[in-house]
Copies of this chain bind each other. A is one copy, B any other.
């Protein structure tokens, strides 16, 4: 059996090679395994349990705001994908094509859905007839396929799991309201559940979703100061409705086109959790989303009464509403400590013979390693409070990281100078001209992340062309 040193030594330090550290973690924490299908991963039980917690939380938020789940087909006929010009241009280059069913060649190729706007459009065109049928607020949980060239577990893979909401409304105002409502849900979920601070804003035209009139995003900063787009919400106006002939009869008995939105969040958020909170000993999971919030580890478990007491404490903690488990395997305590640190379990409860004599046990925080001696009778109150403290501390630490690595620049030269010393977000003004945006990306490697809702006055002119600029943009190297 490996001791702590051995287990941990197999992870590359994040300061040496962040990308390798990430890859080591997803393997060592048993989150993914690679399959023989290139670019596709297996989500192992621990990652799946985390994803199920994410799903349950988001699904509840969706249902509380009136959304219903559906399941659309996995396939999209080529002719259906082609109905909306911008959309097909955006997605056709990266879809997988089914050409044969059994031994027969198909009359028409089917793509494996890269996203399901087209299927929802076709369905809404059929089932919505009058204003009484609106809005339709649908969501689906599924996997989608995009034939990416370079892949990384959770961050970019050929198949990934997500939810995609697709809604139709009688008016542009209602659709826009929905678009922003869902962006706010994503932001609240990221911040309150995943302890990941995000910047809410609008994407520039260049970075918009294929076919959208407006794309809104939440952008997070990872520990290495790169950006991760963490959830997007799109407003389509009636563009798809016109392409798919999605009409309804309004209250005045007139045919109108529907207004539409879509929004998605994916298993990418598992990557975000790893890269925001993880450290050189492994994962660090925010308590609210962690599959296991506390692990009980008996010390000197062979001594009389230790295992019984450990199990009794487990029940106390569980009764306090905590997701807890106990490790009674014959591995050494040191090995177990390292194992659950690797898995990012927020709290460890140690209890041995001497503790029992003194009527106490020890709680160890995964994030700070802080130890707290707790009397048995205080355990039920202490654990939930500590978990909340950890949740808050993780959020604040991530926020501090973002604040410390966010810079402002007045000119392209200043941007480049900052990037020679730092990685991070750079805020600057922008004139709104695509050419200037492209120039910044070309010269600095930073695409625009978004035009934040919370605007600041950085200056008066565009850092590239020098023309008057009233929009502040956040730039950053992105995953």
Contacts and interface: CB of A to CB of B under 8 A. Distances in A.
Contacts of A127: 33, 44
Contacts of A145: 74
Contacts of A119: 35, 42
B159 A73 contact: yes
A51 B36 CA distance: 31
A70 B30 CA distance: 11
A97 interface: yes
A97 B96 contact: no
Interface string A38-58: 001111110011011000000
A110 B110 CA distance: 14
B93 A112 contact: no
A385 to B, nearest CB: 28
Contacts of A159: 73-75
Interface stretch (A98-106, A219-227, A433-441, A453-461): A98-106
Interface string A106-120: 000010100000010
A161 interface: yes
Interface in A61-113: 68-77, 80, 93-103, 110, 112
Contacts of A52: 69
B147 A77 contact: no
A45 B99 CA distance: 30
A206 interface: no
Contact of A45 (B41, B69, B100, B161): B69
A439 to B, nearest CB: 29
Nearest to A59: B52
Contact of A74 (B40, B45, B95, B122): B40
Contact of A93 (B33, B44, B103): B103
A45 B70 contact: yes
A37 interface: yes
B37 A110 contact: yes
A425 interface: no
A94 to B, nearest CB: 5
A43 B77 CA distance: 18
A354 to B, nearest CB: 30
A126 interface: yes
B122 A36 contact: yes
A6 interface: no
Contacts of A95: 101-102
A37 B75 contact: yes
A302 interface: no
A123 interface: yes
11 contacts: A33-B126, A33-B127, A35-B73, A37-B75, A42-B123, A44-B70, A74-B112, A74-B159, A94-B102, A95-B101, A96-B98
Interface of A: 33, 35-37, 40-45, 48-49, 51-52, 68-77, 80, 93-103, 110, 112, 119, 122-123, 126-127, 138, 142-143, 145, 147, 158-159, 161
Among all A-B residue pairs, the 8 with the closest Cβ atoms: A101-B147, A45-B68, A40-B73, A43-B71, A97-B100, A102-B147, A37-B73, A99-B99
